[in-house]
């Protein structure tokens, strides 16, 4: 039993719903009690979709449990097939139905329906949403294609040359409730077209059963969203011999690597390495003088596996930030995230407890947080600017404008959305230069709202304790520290956007030194201490 | 009495009782609601509540894992551990609600026993009570009924005369209603649930109670078992319903008619004025209420009688005839009231009737909007301060706004 106040991922059947709802002509019968119908609003409100997800819930009640719930399942399956006439049917169960062991998949399979029926096993007490999405996509693809003769021995990803056609690939993994998937698909399509590569099928987003059936016609697969696509891509490789790309094209370096990898899989000549400079503004914007202020800005990164990994690379290599924290809630991706963290000299934070993420964030005292909506909230409380880089989704993450994360335009979007929460370069310099002028109002409102001011930059005592931060046993935490008038005056001279951090560092230093009073000298001592 | 009363059964699209936590935790900030359930439960309250707006919500989920399902003795120990961890982290909590869910009900995890044990070991520092908000037993607002019913045994016994307002109200609305009752001469007016879980009102033979919400059948029964007397009235939605509701209490107190009129007449007049612009927009428009919060019947009564709307269909998740008696009397005799739901068939009827406005749950609203039908989220009616004569105009505005908006947009 784990105590959760907020969760990064839903249950696995929500992952299955994401696949069904992403596709056309696929219906999902979910054996579940009425409360589980809340999941519809994830699609109709968060994604702002104009139609209900194609899901029929059996909505069994307590009084049904004493009767024949199996008959209830069959009735709903029959009604759903009659009403929606799907091309394929998914049948699964939610956490409560799993306990009553009706095996709805087997029941549906025994009904003699004249359409493909895919039975899903979604262990709700050990797995989560992304796993459910990946498993459903894999089962659906396998269910529709496994009868085809495997061609693994003779699949040639370069056959396009012999057949005098353009090479073609499948884009696998983009789905509803995936971070910016809608725009990423457009961007990657555009990118591939510019390189003369055709997109054969996109699955599952907007795919029909016929698109799934066309998957084997591609020369190679692009594993666009590994959290959702990897088991499917692996099976396609095993069954049909289709190789797939491992690089997720988020950021300049990753997009370049992705193109290189795909070109090599397809036997194409390597693309021009200068393409990034020509196609994206990020490299020049990052090199321009205004970006000097970005140097060494400390960033804390937390999100799903792919986005966290991509963010770490972009932050460090493409924007010149210093990564001071890296983690993910995707346990499936723990290994690569750990490796990336190690390379940055960090220990990765692998957890789905947002309170420990908040504690780690507070501890790292970053100047920018790249996280999920939950980190946005934690960062707001700590007075730190934040940009959202990953699911779980919020209605804000489905913008009206075109805002991909992948490819060249994705890099532009990322530059803007990460850099804007920070104070811009020239602005930061000017505030530093003019802060002694009388026009400079100390607590003037900033983009951080009231949280940028001195009093709130420090997390309040109770909030901080609630965050479960580990007290340092050596520190005399219970002693009230006092700032002298002189110390406070000196502290006020520090720009408000770093004042909270300086204050905290100084207090920490004072405690280590066994000091109870902080004057300007202590502040400078601390400054020297932390600069070394 | 109604002649057109139908029952429907099939797939439903209604929140479960866990969702009530979303307003209960705000009413009683010294309480914590610990759902004992699955990841789905955690995801539900997070999604339904837009929980991300709360830094540290006063509710959480103890998520059952495979290990807990293996042996129940183990699950009881685990629950103790989780509760203790929680109370350590949140020392300000005074009441802990253990909330049963579908999985905990199905595996028959005995939360009453857990509550008893925790109560004994916490020796009065924190009070632990339990109720079920499971979707196999409760819908949406029934969760509040369960939570309040669970609190009733903890209420002190006292026979002094008092008016007890039962059901969660917005603070401002509650203050206003109490002022008005006192103005008429009812000296002691208390609320249940209280604003702090530790500040529970007494109950006894002198207690006469008004239900502020129509979904409190268990709570009302429990309170009656403790000696309280239920004052029958329509519910305090709209100027008329609220007035009848207040008058019922005033009469129970034997207050003179002139005093009642002197107090309420000016309010009614003002409400008529506030309602007028909305009435003009809503009059003759056709409304379809899908089952959700149990407020559907009182709302339909208000929309028909005070706003002149035509009622296409009034859905309700379940019909408690006894508690709805006064409301049913005020509806036109041929009102189509449908208890239960077959969501697909009901949506077919919505499409066929093409009403001007549909009141529905959050999952259905955008798809209907996309079909060109204006909607109103029913959950908004549970969250908004809509009770009382003074709120009648605001209540009507909630329904006229979607129509105004539809009229305001033009893309040609």
CA distance A318 to A315: 6
Question: What was the ipTM of the complex prediction?
Answer: 0.94
CA distance A457 to A498: 8
Q: Which residues of A touch B81 (CB under 8 A)?
A: 1
Q: How far is B312 from chain A (nearest CA, A)?
A: 23
* Sheet-wide strand order for A368-371: A349-350, A322-328, A298-303, A368-371, A386-388
Instruction: State the DSSP string of A59-99.
Output: -B-HHHHTS-HHHHHHHHHHHHHHHH--SEEEEEE-HHHHH
Enclosing H/E stretch for A303: strand A298-303
- Cβ of B364 within 8 Å of Cβ of A381? The answer is no
Question: Would you call the peptide bond into A392 cis, given omega within 30 degrees of 0 as the criterion?
Answer: yes
Cβ-contact A377, A27 below 8 angstroms: no
Please state, in angstroms and rounded to a whole number, the distance separating the CA atoms of residues A170 and A478. Answer: 60
Burial of B166 (0-12, 13-18, 19+ CB in 10 A): buried
Give Cα A376 to chain centroid, integer Å: 13
Average pLDDT over residues B53-63: 79
Contact assignment for A41 to B90 by CB distance below 8 Å: no
Residue A441, pLDDT score: 55
Each of the 532 residues of chain A gets a pLDDT tens digit; together they read 988 888 999 999 999 999 999 999 999 999 999 999 999 999 999 999 999 999 999 999 988 888 888 999 999 999 999 999 999 999 999 999 999 989 999 999 999 999 999 999 999 999 999 999 999 999 999 999 998 876 556 899 999 999 999 999 999 999 999 999 999 999 999 999 999 999 999 999 999 999 999 999 999 999 999 999 999 999 999 999 999 999 999 999 999 999 999 999 999 999 998 999 999 999 999 999 989 999 999 999 999 999 999 999 999 999 999 999 999 999 999 999 999 999 999 999 999 999 899 999 999 999 999 999 999 989 988 889 999 999 999 988 999 999 999 999 999 999 999 999 987 777 776 766 666 665 555 555 444 444 444 443 333 333 333 333 333 444 445 567 889 998 888 888 776 667 777 888 888 888 888 888 899 888 888 888 876 5
Q: At what angle do helices B238-252 and B321-330 cross, to 10 degrees?
A: 120
Mean pLDDT of chain B: 94
Closest CA to A87 of A49, A113, A56: A113
**Nearest alpha carbon to residue A313 among A248, A229, A357:** A248
Q: What pTM was computed for the model?
A: 0.90
Tens-digit pLDDT profile for residues B304-357: 999 999 999 999 999 999 999 999 999 999 999 999 999 999 999 999 999 999
List, as one string, the DSSP characters of A444-487: --BTTBGGGSHHHHSPPHHHHHHTTPPPPTTS-TTSPPEE-HHH
Over the stretch B153-199, which tens digit does the pLDDT of each residue have? 999 999 999 999 999 999 999 999 999 999 999 999 999 999 999 99
- pLDDT value of residue A437: 62
User: How close, in Å, is residue B397 to chain A by CA atoms?
Assistant: 22
DSSP symbol at A43: I
**Number of A–B residue contacts, CB under 8 Å:** 195
**What is the DSSP-derived secondary structure letter of residue A5?**
S
The pair phi, psi for residue A457, each rounded to 5°, is -60, -30
Q: What DSSP line would sit under B118-144, residue for residue?
A: HHHHHTTSSEEEEEE--TTT-BTTHHH
Residues 489-528 (A) with a CB less than 8 A from some CB of B = none
Could you say which residues from 465 to 494 on chain A have a Cβ atom under 8 Å away from some Cβ of chain B? 466, 468
- Angle between helix axes A496-512 and A485-492 (nearest 10 degrees) is 140
Checking if the pLDDT of B57 tops 90, the result is: no
DSSP state of B1: -
What is the CB neighbour count within 10 angstroms for residue A116? 17
Check whether the bond before A308 is cis (ω within 30° of 0).
Answer: no
**How many helices and strands (H and E) does chain A possess?**
25, 16
Among the partner-chain residues B82, B106, B344, the one whose CB lies closest to the CB of A100 is: B106
Give, for A519, the enclosing helix (H) or strand (E).
none
What is the layout of strands, in order, in the sheet containing B310-316? B5-9, B337-341, B310-316, B286-289, B357-360, B374-377
**C-beta of residue A225 within 8 angstroms of C-beta of residue A174:** yes
Q: Is B80 exposed, middle or buried (0-12, 13-18, 19+ CB in 10 A)?
A: middle
CB-CB neighbours of A443 under 10 Å: 12
Tell me which of B41, B135, B139 to substitute to probe the interface with A (most A C-beta atoms closer than 10 Å). B135
Characterize the bridge pairing of strands B59-63 and A2-4: antiparallel
Instruction: Give the pLDDT of residue A153.
Output: 65
Q: Which of A9, A176, A16, A177 has its CA nearest to residue A93?
A: A16
Contacts of A35 in chain B (CB under 8 A): 15-19, 40-41, 44, 102, 134-135
Write the secondary structure of A332-400 as one string of H (helix), E (strand) and C (coil): HHHHHHHHHHHHCCCCCEECCCHHHHHHHHHHHCCCEEEECHHHHHHHHHHCCCEEECCCCCCHHHCCC
Distance CA A104, CA A72 (A): 10
Residue pLDDT, tens place only, B27-37: 999 999 999 99
Q: What percent of chain B has pLDDT over 90?
A: 87
> Of the candidates B277, B278, B279, B282, which has an alpha carbon nearest to the alpha carbon of residue B355?
B282
DSSP letters of A238-261?
A: HHH---EE----BSHHHHHHHHHH
From the candidates A290, A363, A463, A486, give the one annotated as an active-site residue: A290
Catalytic status, residue A290: yes
Q: What's the order of all strands across the beta sheet hosting B59-63? A: A2-4, B59-63, B31-37, B95-100, B127-132
Report the candidate in A406, A93, A245 with the shortest Cα–Cα distance to residue B103.
A93
Question: What's CA A351's distance to the chain center, in Å?
Answer: 14
**Nearest-CA neighbor of A361 among A505, A457, A469?**
A469
Residues, chain B:
412
A235's enclosing H/E stretch is: helix A226-240
- State pLDDT tens for residues B276-307: 999 999 999 999 999 999 999 999 999 999 99
Q: For residue B46, name the pLDDT band (cuts at 50, 70, 90).
A: confident
Count the Cβ atoms, other than its own, within 10 Å of residue B6. Answer: 11
The neighbour count for residue A250, using CB atoms within 10 Å, is: 27
Are A94 and B40 an interchain contact pair (Cβ–Cβ within 8 Å)? yes
Rounded Cα distance, B199 and B204, in Å? 16
pLDDT band, residue B52 (cuts 50/70/90):
low
Query: Which positions in chain B touch A42 (Cβ < 8 Å)?
Result: 47
A164: left (phi over 0), alpha (psi -120 to 50) or beta: left
- Which of A35, A71, A95, A129 is the best mutation test for B, with the most CBs of B within 10 A? A35
Beta-bridge partner residues of B286 = B310
DSSP B313: E
Q: What is the pLDDT at residue A223?
A: 98
Contact between B136 and B105 (Cβ < 8 Å): yes
Q: pLDDT tens across B84-99, in order?
A: 999 998 899 999 999 9
List CB contacts of A360: < 8 A, sequence separation 6 or more: A300, A325, A327, A349
Q: Using CB atoms and an 8 Å cut-off, which of residues 55-114 of chain A contact chain B? A: 56-62, 64-65, 76, 79, 83, 94-96, 99-100
State the DSSP H helix or E strand holding residue B212, giving kind and residue range, or none if neither. none
* Cα of B49 to nearest chain A Cα, Å: 11
Give Cα B139 distance to the centre of its chain: 11
Between positions 374 and 413 of A, the ones with CB within 8 A of B are: 374, 377, 381, 394
Calculate how close chain A gets to B187, using CA atoms only, in Å: 40
pLDDT for the residue numbered A492: 83
Q: How high is the pLDDT of residue B54?
A: 58
Residue B385 has pLDDT above 90, yes or no: yes
Contact (CB, 8 A) for B309 and B336: no
3-state secondary structure of A50: coil
Residue identified by tokens 């730190």 is A384
Contact B202, B282 (CB under 8 A): no
* pLDDT of the residue at A454: 40
> Are the CB atoms for A11 and B37 separated by under 8 Å?
no
């Amino acid at each position: 039993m784990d105590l959760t106040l907020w969760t990064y991922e839903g249950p696995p059947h929500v992952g299955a719903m994401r696949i069904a709802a992403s596709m056309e002509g696929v219906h999902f019968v979910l054996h579940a009690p009425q409360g589980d119908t809340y999941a519809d609003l994830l699609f109709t409100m968060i994604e702002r979709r104009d139609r209900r997800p194609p899901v029929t819930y059996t909505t069994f009640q307590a009084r049904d449990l004493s009767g024949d719930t199996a008959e209830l399942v069959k009735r709903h399956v029959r009604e759903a097939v009659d009403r929606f006439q799907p091309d394929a049917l998914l049948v699964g169960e939610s956490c409560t139905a799993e306990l009553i062991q009706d095996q709805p998949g087997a029941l549906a399979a025994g009904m003699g329906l004249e359409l493909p029926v895919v039975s899903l096993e979604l262990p709700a007490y050990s797995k989560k949403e992304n796993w459910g999405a990946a498993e459903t996509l894999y089962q659906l693809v396998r269910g529709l294609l496994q009868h085809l003769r495997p061609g693994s021995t003779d699949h040639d990803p370069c056959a396009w040359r012999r057949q005098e056609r353009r090479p073609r690939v499948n884009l696998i993994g983009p789905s509803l409730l995936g971070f910016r998937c809608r725009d990423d698909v457009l961007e990657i399509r555009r990118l591939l077209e510019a390189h003369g590569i055709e997109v054969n099928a996109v699955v599952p987003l907007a795919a029909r059963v016929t698109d799934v059936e066309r998957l084997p016609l591609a020369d190679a697969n692009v594993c666009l969203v590994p959290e959702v696509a990897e088991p499917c891509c692996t099976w396609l490789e095993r069954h049909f011999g289709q190789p797939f790309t491992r690089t997720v094209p988020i950021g300049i370096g990753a997009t370049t690597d992705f193109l290189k990898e795909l070109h090599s899989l397809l036997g194409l000549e390597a693309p021009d390495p200068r393409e990034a400079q020509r196609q994206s503004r990020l490299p020049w914007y990052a090199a321009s003088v205004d970006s000097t202020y970005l140097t060494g800005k400390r960033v804390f990164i937390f999100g799903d596996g792919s986005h966290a990994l991509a963010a770490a690379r972009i932050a460090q290599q493409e924007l010149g930030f210093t990564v001071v924290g890296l983690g993910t809630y995707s346990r499936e991706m723990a290994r690569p995230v750990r490796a990336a963290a190690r390379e940055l000299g960090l220990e990765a934070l692998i957890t789905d407890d947002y309170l420990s993420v908040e504690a780690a964030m507070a501890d790292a005292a970053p100047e920018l947080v790249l996280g999920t909506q939950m980190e946005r909230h934690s960062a707001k409380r700590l007075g730190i600017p934040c940009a959202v880089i990953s699911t779980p989704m919020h209605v804000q993450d489905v913008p009206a404008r075109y805002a991909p994360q992948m490819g060249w335009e994705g890099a532009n979007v990322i530059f803007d959305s990460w850099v804007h929460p920070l104070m811009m370069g020239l602005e930061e310099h000017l505030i530093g230069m003019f802060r002694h002028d009388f026009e400079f109002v100390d607590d003037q409102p900033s983009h951080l709202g009231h949280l940028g001011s001195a009093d709130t930059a420090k997390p309040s005592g109770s909030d901080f304790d609630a965050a479960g931060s580990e007290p340092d046993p050596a520190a005399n935490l219970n002693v009230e520290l006092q700032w002298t008038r002189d110390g406070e005056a000196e502290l006020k001279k520090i720009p408000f956007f770093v004042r909270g951090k300086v204050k905290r560092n100084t207090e920490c230093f004072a405690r280590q030194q066994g000091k109870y009073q902080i004057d300007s000298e202590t502040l400078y001592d601390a400054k020297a201490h932390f600069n070394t | 009495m109604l002649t057109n009363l139908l029952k429907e059964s099939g797939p439903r699209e209604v929140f479960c009782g866990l969702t009530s936590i979303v307003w209960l935790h705000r009413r009683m900030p010294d309480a914590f609601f610990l759902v004992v359930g699955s990841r789905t439960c955690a995801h539900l309250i997070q999604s339904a509540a837009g929980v991300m707006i709360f830094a540290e919500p006063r509710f959480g989920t103890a998520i059952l894992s495979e290990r807990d399902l293996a042996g129940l003795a183990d699950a009881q120990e685990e629950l103790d551990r989780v509760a203790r961890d929680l109370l350590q982290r949140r020392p300000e909590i005074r009441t802990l609600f253990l909330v049963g869910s579908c999985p905990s009900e199905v595996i028959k995890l005995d939360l009453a026993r857990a509550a008893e044990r925790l109560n004994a070991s916490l020796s009065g520092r924190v009070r632990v009570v339990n109720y079920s908000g499971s979707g196999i037993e409760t819908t949406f607002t029934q969760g509040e009924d369960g939570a309040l019913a669970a609190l009733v045994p903890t209420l002190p016994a006292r026979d002094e005369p008092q008016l007890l307002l039962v059901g969660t109200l917005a603070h401002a609305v509650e203050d206003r209603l109490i002022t008005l009752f006192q103005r008429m001469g009812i000296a002691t007016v208390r609320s249940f649930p209280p604003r702090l879980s530790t500040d529970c009102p007494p109950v006894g033979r002198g207690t006469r109670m008004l239900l502020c919400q129509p979904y409190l059948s268990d709570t009302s029964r429990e309170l009656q078992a403790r000696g309280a007397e239920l004052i029958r009235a329509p519910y305090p939605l709209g100027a008329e319903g609220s007035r009848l509701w207040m008058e019922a209490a005033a009469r129970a107190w034997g207050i003179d008619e002139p005093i009642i009129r002197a107090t309420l007449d000016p309010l009614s007049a003002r409400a008529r004025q506030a309602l007028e612009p909305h009435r003009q927009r809503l009059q003759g428009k056709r409304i379809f209420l899908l089952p959700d919060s149990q407020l559907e019947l009182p709302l339909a009564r208000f929309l028909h009688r005070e706003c002149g709307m035509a009622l296409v269909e009034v859905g309700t998740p379940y019909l408690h005839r006894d508690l709805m008696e006064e409301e049913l009397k005020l509806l036109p005799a041929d009102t189509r009231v449908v208890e239960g739901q077959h969501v697909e068939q009901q949506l077919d009827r919505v499409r066929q009737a093409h009403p001007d406005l549909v009141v529905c749950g959050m999952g259905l609203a955008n798809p209907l909007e996309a079909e060109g039908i204006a909607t109103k989220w029913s959950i908004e009616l549970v969250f908004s301060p809509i009770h009382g004569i003074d709120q009648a105009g605001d209540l009507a505005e909630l329904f006229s706004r979607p129509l105004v908006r539809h009229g305001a947009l033009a893309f040609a």
